[in-house]
C-alpha cells in the first residue's frame, strides 16, 4: 500500500466533482512534456472508461517523441484548432488542470481557461500555486504529476477503471519527469506504483526507448553540436551552461522536443553538479536548470529568470536577448565564486 498523500477533504471534493460532471476538459502546460501529456491522457482514459465525456486540450503541439501514447491523436491543440478548443471549454462543466499551477504557463490559452465558467481543479507538483481553481491539489514533494494523479485515482476509488492505456500514459509521465528514475526518485512508494502499473501489461522498456532514447538524425547532430560547440563548463563552481539561438535550431531542423534532456548532459561530467540550458524562442529565452545532490537550482531560476520549480529540476523564462540571459548565468557563477571565498 502506498502512503496517503492527498488529504481526506480534497479526496472527497474531487470524487464528488467527477461524479457530478457531465462534460470534462483536461489541460496542461505549454510545450507539454511527458508528465503533462502522460497525466492528461492517463486521466482521460480513466474518465472515459467511467463513461464520462472527456477531452484533452493542450496549448500547443505535443512532442513527436510522445506520439506513441495511447489516445494522443484525440488531443485538441489550441494553436491548431482554436475554435474547437474554445467550444469544448465553453461546454465543459469541469476543467482539470494538470502539471501547471499558474495561468501564464498555458500561454495564449490562459484567457480561455481563466474566464471559463466551469468548476476548475488543479493537480500539480510545482511550488507556489496561483489561486485560479476551485480545488487545488498541490504537493510539490511528489516526483511528478503522474505520481500524484495515481494517488488521486486510488483514493477516489477510480483504480478499477485503470487499464493498459491509462497505465502506459501514467508510467511515461513518472519516468520522463525523473529522467528514467535517476533524480527525485528515492521515495519507495514510487516503485510500488511502478509494480502496480506493470500488472496492466505495459512495456516499460519500449516506453523508455520510444520516449527518451529515440533520435532523428537532425536531433543527434543538434545535440552533438550543442555539446561540442556550445557547452561551457565552470569547474571551479561545479556548473555548466549550454545555449542555442533560433538560427542554430533552424540550421538543424529543430522539432519540438529535440532539446529535451540536453540540460542533463553536463551533469555526467565528474565535479559538475548544476547545469543551465538557454534556448532562444520567438518572444523569450526558455531556461531549464538541473542539479544533483543538495544544490538547489529553483532559487536561482526564481531570482534571475522569473521561474521556479524543484530543488534539482527548475526552469523559467527571460525576456530579452540570449546574450543578456547568458549574463544572468554568468552572474550566478560570480555569486558562487564569491561565496567560496
The predicted structure's pLDDT at residue 183: 83
99-142 residue pLDDT tens: 999 999 999 999 999 999 999 999 999 988 999 999 999 999 99
The DSSP bridge pattern shows strands 135-138 and 53-58 to be unpaired
The predicted structure's pLDDT at residue 89: 98
Where does a domain end: 193, 212, 231?
212
Between CA 137 and CA 125 the distance in angstroms is 8
Do residues 208 and 274 share a domain? Answer: no
Between CA 272 and CA 107 the distance in angstroms is 33
2, part of any domain: no
Do residues 190 and 335 share a domain? Answer: no
1, part of any domain: no
Element (H, E) at 266: none
Residue with grid cell 502522460, as numbered in its chain: 38
Do residues 263 and 294 share a domain? Answer: yes
316, part of any domain: yes
Whether residue 333 has pLDDT greater than 70: yes
267, part of any domain: yes
Where does a domain end: 171, 194, 212?
212
Whether residue 340 has pLDDT greater than 80: no
The reported pTM is 0.91
- Please state, in angstroms and as integers, the Cα–Cα distance from residue 337 to each residue in 305, 314, 332, following that order: 20, 22, 9
3 state DSSP class of 147: helix
The predicted structure's pLDDT at residue 34: 96
CB atoms within 10 A of CB 251: 14
Do residues 208 and 225 share a domain? Answer: no
Where does a domain end: 188, 212, 236?
212
The DSSP bridge pattern shows strands 94-98 and 274-280 to be unpaired
Between CA 155 and CA 99 the distance in angstroms is 19
191-237 residue pLDDT tens: 999 999 999 999 999 999 999 988 899 999 999 999 999 999 999 99
**Total domains in the fold of the chain:** 2
What's the rounded mean pLDDT across residues 34-42?
Answer: 98
Which CATH number does the domain housing residue 173 bear?
3.90.1640.10
104, part of any domain: yes
Cβ-based neighbours of 224, under 8 Å, separated by 6 or more: none
Element (H, E) at 19: helix 8-20
Do residues 27 and 116 share a domain? Answer: yes
pLDDT grade, residue 341 (50/70/90)? Answer: low
Do residues 278 and 137 share a domain? Answer: no
Which CATH number does the domain housing residue 288 bear?
3.10.310.30
Do residues 113 and 201 share a domain? Answer: yes
Whether residue 60 has pLDDT greater than 70: yes
27, part of any domain: yes
3 state DSSP class of 214: coil
Do residues 193 and 231 share a domain? Answer: no
Whether residue 70 has pLDDT greater than 80: yes
Do residues 187 and 240 share a domain? Answer: no
Short-list 256, 191, 258, 192, CA closest to 222 = 258
Percent of the chain predicted with pLDDT > 90: 90
Q: The domain containing residue 267 runs over which residues?
A: 217-340
230-286 residue pLDDT tens: 999 999 999 999 999 999 999 999 988 899 889 999 999 999 999 999 999 988 999
Do residues 302 and 205 share a domain? Answer: no
Do residues 191 and 252 share a domain? Answer: no
C-alpha cell of residue 304: 534571475
What's the rounded mean pLDDT across residues 73-86?
Answer: 98
Burial 295-334 (b: 16+ CB within 10 A, else e): bbbbebbbebbebbbbbbbbbbbbeeebeebbebbeebbe
Do residues 21 and 140 share a domain? Answer: yes
3, part of any domain: no
Amino acid at each position: 500500500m502506498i502512503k496517503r498523500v492527498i488529504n481526506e477533504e480534497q479526496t472527497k471534493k474531487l470524487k464528488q466533482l467527477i461524479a457530478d460532471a457531465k462534460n470534462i476538459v483536461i489541460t496542461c502546460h505549454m510545450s507539454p512534456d511527458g508528465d503533462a501529456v502522460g497525466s492528461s491522457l492517463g486521466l482521460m482514459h480513466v474518465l472515459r472508461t467511467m463513461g464520462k465525456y472527456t477531452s484533452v486540450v493542450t496549448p500547443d503541439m505535443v512532442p513527436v517523441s510522445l506520439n506513441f501514447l495511447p489516445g494522443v491523436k484525440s488531443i485538441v491543440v489550441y494553436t491548431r484548432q482554436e475554435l474547437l478548443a474554445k467550444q469544448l471549454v465553453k461546454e465543459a462543466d469541469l476543467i482539470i488542470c494538470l502539471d501547471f499551477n499558474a495561468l501564464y504557463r498555458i500561454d495564449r490559452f490562459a484567457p480561455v481557461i481563466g474566464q471559463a465558467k466551469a468548476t476548475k481543479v488543479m493537480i500539480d507538483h510545482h511550488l507556489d500555486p496561483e489561486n485560479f481553481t476551485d480545488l487545488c491539489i498541490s504537493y510539490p514533494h511528489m516526483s511528478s504529476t503522474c505520481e500524484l494523479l495515481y494517488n488521486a485515482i486510488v483514493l477516489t476509488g477510480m483504480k478499477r477503471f485503470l487499464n493498459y492505456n491509462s497505465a502506459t500514459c501514467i508510467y511515461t509521465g513518472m519516468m520522463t519527469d525523473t529522467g528514467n528514475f535517476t533524480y527525485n526518485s528515492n521515495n519507495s512508494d514510487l516503485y510500488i506504483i511502478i509494480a502496480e502499473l506493470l500488472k496492466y501489461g505495459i512495456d516499460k522498456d519500449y516506453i523508455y526507448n520510444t520516449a527518451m532514447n529515440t533520435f532523428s538524425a537532425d536531433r543527434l547532430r543538434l545535440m552533438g553540436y550543442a555539446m561540442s560547440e556550445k557547452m561551457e563548463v565552470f569547474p571551479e563552481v561545479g556548473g555548466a551552461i549550454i545555449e542555442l539561438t533560433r538560427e542554430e535550431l533552424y540550421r538543424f531542423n529543430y522539432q519540438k522536443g529535440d532539446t529535451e534532456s540536453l540540460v542533463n548532459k553536463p551533469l555526467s561530467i565528474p565535479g559538475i553538479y548544476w547545469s543551465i540550458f538557454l534556448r532562444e524562442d520567438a518572444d523569450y529565452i526558455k531556461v531549464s536548470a538541473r542539479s544533483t545532490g543538495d544544490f538547489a537550482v529553483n532559487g536561482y531560476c526564481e531570482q534571475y529568470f522569473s521561474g521556479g520549480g524543484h530543488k534539482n529540476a527548475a526552469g523559467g523564462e527571460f525576456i530579452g536577448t540570449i546574450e543578456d540571459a547568458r549574463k544572468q548565468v554568468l552572474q550566478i557563477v560570480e555569486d558562487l565564486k564569491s561565496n567560496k571565498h
